Chain A
Amino acid sequence: MIAALRSEYRKIVTTRTWWVLLLAMLAYMSFLAATFAFAMTQGGAMGGPGTQGLGHSPTSAISVYTIAVAFGYVFPVIVGALSVTGEFRHQTITPTLLAEPRRTTLVGAKLLAAVPVGVLYGVLGTAAGVGVGAGVLALTDHATYLDDPEVLVAVGRSVLALAVWAVVGVGLGLAMPNQVAVIVVVLAFTQFVEPILRFALAFVADGALAGVGAYLPGAAGEAITGSSFYSQMGAGELLAWWQGLLVLVGYALVFAALGRVTTLRRDIT
């Protein structure tokens, strides 16, 4: 298993994908953190009707610093997914299964190999949010709240959430080995379907389904840091951080198991 893990890790870091996507993530997160930190200094100018606003508070600071968990998790997801779909796209799944014919071991190795990569995305993606966000706050003479333990814990958990997202990506890739399909589904779901669902679930049936939205993967991810633009804007409550973590890991494992009994049961020709 350790050997297979080392092989899988090397597969990820010997192509350009991982750093190209990482740079894209850092640029995007820096831009968002600057925008939202600036909005924060404007005292809730972002808020729409029914929102609690984006005032200058520790809660808002957390939202800015962990912005990667709300808007940037799609990057580790795609890196994780590509680590599987690339094998099918380039038919390297053949030598991969020759080197490691135990397919369940291979699934485990792929899931675990995504962790260090996810941590890297988590550390740097969060650092971009904190660095740029705190920079904007400091430059505009606002408190950064970086001495607040609650803020620091949230920042740490942001790294954790992003690392788990990379593992979810591997699960998705296993369940959906077609590279184009998985990218389209990931983008459509994370950027469009889930945000709408979360608002819809919060408002339909007099809020009877509001709790369900918290179990959607994006909401579970945000629960890990305990802060969310969506819930600040009224899109339902979040789970406790450890519940969010379990739900998100659950998604990864369910997708991976699904991939194990579908994709990896088929003949490799």
Chain B
Amino acid sequence: MSTKTAGKKKSVSFFRKIEPYFYLAPFAIGVLLFTLYPIVNVVLMSFKENYNFINQSYSGWGLGNYLYVLNDAYFIQAYKNTFMYVFVVIPISTCLSVLIATLLNQKIKFSGMFQTAYFLPMVTSTVAIGFAWRFMFSHRTGVINYLLSFLGVEAINWLQIPKYNFPALCIYGIWAILPFTIILLLSGLQNIDPMYYTAAKVDGAGPIKSFFRITLPLLAPTIFLVLIVNTISTFKVYNELFPLFQGPGIASNLFTVVYYIYYQFRIKTPMKYGYAAAAAVILFLTIFVFTMIQRFIEKKTKD
């Protein structure tokens, strides 16, 4: 009798233990199947020599793909372009969005209108916006050249002359990244107790002093978040190439790492899955190192 109940108890508690895994299962299977499996597969693929996707054949394991990619002029160009892009877009977009978010956070007139204007890119079709930007960059009739003419800058052929492709891409990229960044920063700003500003004001602090001594330090955690998220996304620059140039610049001069992956995978015949996979792994490692460095700096500044 007693042993029977004990046994029953044991089976109940065993079920209790494994019960949560049933609830987790649907999600876990999804993650394993659609995220983890492809990642593992890409890493494996990058080490397979002469891999053929269709019949899954390969001639052996090795570093051949990496050696090819690292010596490929297109990849080197892509890697350089991507780095330059990150180093131009991240600082400029971060500074701009901190500035704009701070202004939007003031109780100014028309702030509703400004907010709508800045968030428009998020809710509008990328293709439509891309076309709009083609017009804006247009050599003779574009609004950008028109605005620059006031500064005495002669009309620039942004899209047709290779050396201007990169600045055009950066301008577009900065613009595209702003809304999301501003939303994050605005929510960070709204978490700052207005009491601090009142206290500083009573002590005689002007807007600039308040900004640098109160706003910026209290916003720092959000700025770091934005930096990490945006660095990762700008390292993956690729989409932005199509609306402006329908490809990697006007003269194959604007390869980026992700475009290179796409190029090996999709455009080149026969398709080079191994090269694509190796490039993807290199990009992953690069982003990983960068994120670690940022986290390290964040921790350092916190203390």
Are both chains from one complex? no
Residues of B within 8 A of A (CB): none
